[in-house]
A and B are shown apart, each in its own frame.
Chain A
């Protein structure tokens, strides 16, 4: 791609030929197109967040527009070294620049797909779909576009055979876990129509404990829902009692 390509040209390259974009000289592409790719990722995720926020409306629209880009970009920044480490452990020689570019291209492409899916989601939310169905559709959309992003990263990064499959599976697991917990910390995205709007809920329990509680509930055991504050960023119990 030429140095002076427009945002639309970069979007077209992300959709049509992400591998061609991601396999160029990493330092040059990061220098020439890095800000545009970041802009595409953030803006697309913000558009999707805005649509998600329409389920509750009001201030939630703004909150979700701010939180979705964070959910899409922060886990990518956190897991970059892990993605490279998994490839190196599997014997695939890959430098940090290649990983950074591949992850950035994958992130921007998946965010772009979220923006593309936004009108359909908006239509669905506009017909007063049930809250739980709204959550499920949101998760499905995020999972589908995230899978496309991870597949793009796998295609861009070098390697072949079983080692490549193993390295990318491990990388996908690492990214998936961080995205899941980030989503848990940043919730709510889809607020109940009659619920109070809040930017963040108190940090309590974690996504995995909540998933286990859901599985128990599915088997008819309705215990384990007494979520307690956990983790470094959680409010300490003593403080939580003091807080009105």
Chain B
């Protein structure tokens, strides 16, 4: 009778231990704010995802404003696609604007990492102040575009009440142009400091 119990117990024991470790890893990852797909993958394949348990949040190619950009984009998208907003078409320009914002944000993230690296290795190196000033201007422009997206939502709301016309596409193009000008400002800054 012991033999009969022995075989399933071993199988179940190994499987349960593996799944218990997987559940623990998934729980820890979930509490660290990783994507749910990663946490779910850890249930079955936790040995591959153990490196994500090391200290610190998971590094990402995104920059410091990534979450805010995603939130603003999602809010604007939901406002534009609301049926009560009276035929405001969700235009592709929004996706392009969001992509531009993420690119600008990634550059900010790269500069932040660079500044930390330079400060650790060389202290306040010459040229660091100019880089920080350019970074502050770039961040300000991105913030202004995000504010513009919020104002666009308000305009759409106003339109649904008062019937004012809102040139959504033109406004989005203006915001994109503002981001495009950011590159020119950066080039100008670099030319002036070099």
Binding site for B on A (CB under 8 A): 2-3, 25-28, 30-32, 34-35, 38, 73, 76-77, 80, 95-97, 100-101, 103-104, 232-233, 235-236, 238-239
Question: Is the C-beta of B31 less than 8 angstroms from some C-beta in chain A?
Answer: no
Q: Is A26 a contact partner of B51 (Cβ separation < 8 A)?
A: yes
Among B6, B37, B48, B59, find the residue whose CB has the most chain A CB atoms closer than 10 A: B48
Q: A80–B35 Cα gap in the complex (Å)?
A: 24
- Mark each residue of chain B from 50 to 79: 1 if its CB lies under 8 Å from any CB of chain A, else 0: 111010001111100000000000000000
Nearest-Cβ distance from residue A202 to partner chain B, whole angstroms: 11
Contact between B7 and A27 (Cβ–Cβ < 8 Å)?
no
Beta-carbon contact of B51 and A96 below 8 Å: yes
Q: For B39, give the chain A residue with the smallest CB separation.
A: A35
Q: Does B131 contact A (CB under 8 A)?
A: no
Q: Are A27 and B58 in contact (CB under 8 A)?
A: yes
Instruction: Answer whether A239 and B48 are a contact pair too, CB < 8 Å, given A25-B59, A35-B38.
Output: no
Contacts beyond the supplied A26-B51, A30-B52, A31-B59: 18 A-B pairs with Cβ under 8 Å: A3-B60, A3-B61, A27-B51, A28-B61, A30-B49, A31-B35, A31-B58, A32-B60, A34-B48, A38-B41, A77-B48, A100-B48, A104-B48, A236-B3, A236-B6, A236-B7, A239-B4, A239-B7
Residues of B within 8 A of A (CB): 3-4, 6-7, 10-11, 34-35, 37-38, 40-41, 45, 47-52, 54, 58-62
A–B pairs, 16, beta carbons within 8 Å: A27-B54, A28-B59, A30-B52, A31-B34, A34-B41, A35-B37, A38-B45, A80-B47, A80-B48, A96-B50, A100-B48, A100-B49, A100-B50, A236-B6, A239-B4, A239-B7
Q: Which residues of B contact A27 (CB under 8 A)?
A: 51-52, 54, 58-59
The answer for the CA separation of A236 and B1 in the assembled complex, in Å, is 12
Shortest A170–chain B CB gap in Å is 19
**Contact residues in B for A31 (Cβ distance below 8 Å):** 34-35, 38, 52, 58-60
The smallest C-beta distance from B40 to any residue of chain A, in angstroms, reads: 7
Q: Is the interface of B mostly helix, strand, loop or mixed?
A: helix
Interface centre among B37, B47, B51 (most CB of A within 10 A): B51
B48 to chain A, nearest CB (A): 5
Q: Are A77 and B47 in contact (CB under 8 A)?
A: yes
Query: Would you call B4 and A2 a contact (CB within 8 A)?
Result: no
Kindly state the separation between the CA atoms of A108 and B9 in the bound complex, as whole angstroms: 33
> Which residues of A sit under 8 angstroms from B11, Cβ to Cβ?
233
Q: Compute how far the CA of A34 lies from the CA of B58 in the bound complex, rounded to whole angstroms.
A: 12
A26 to B37, CA, bound (A): 17
8 closest A-B pairs by CB? A97-B51, A31-B58, A35-B37, A35-B41, A77-B47, A28-B59, A239-B3, A100-B48
The answer to whether B7 and A235 touch across the interface, beta carbons within 8 angstroms, is yes
How far in angstroms is the closest Cβ of chain A from B73?
Answer: 12
What chain A residues lie within 8 Å of B40 (beta carbons)?
Answer: 35
Give the Cβ gap from B1 to chain A, nearest Cβ, in Å. Answer: 10
Contacts of A3 in B (CB 8 A): 60-62
B51 & A30 in contact (Cβ 8 Å cutoff):
yes
Query: Looking at B35, B45, B49, B52, which has the most chain A CB atoms within 10 Å of its CB?
Result: B45
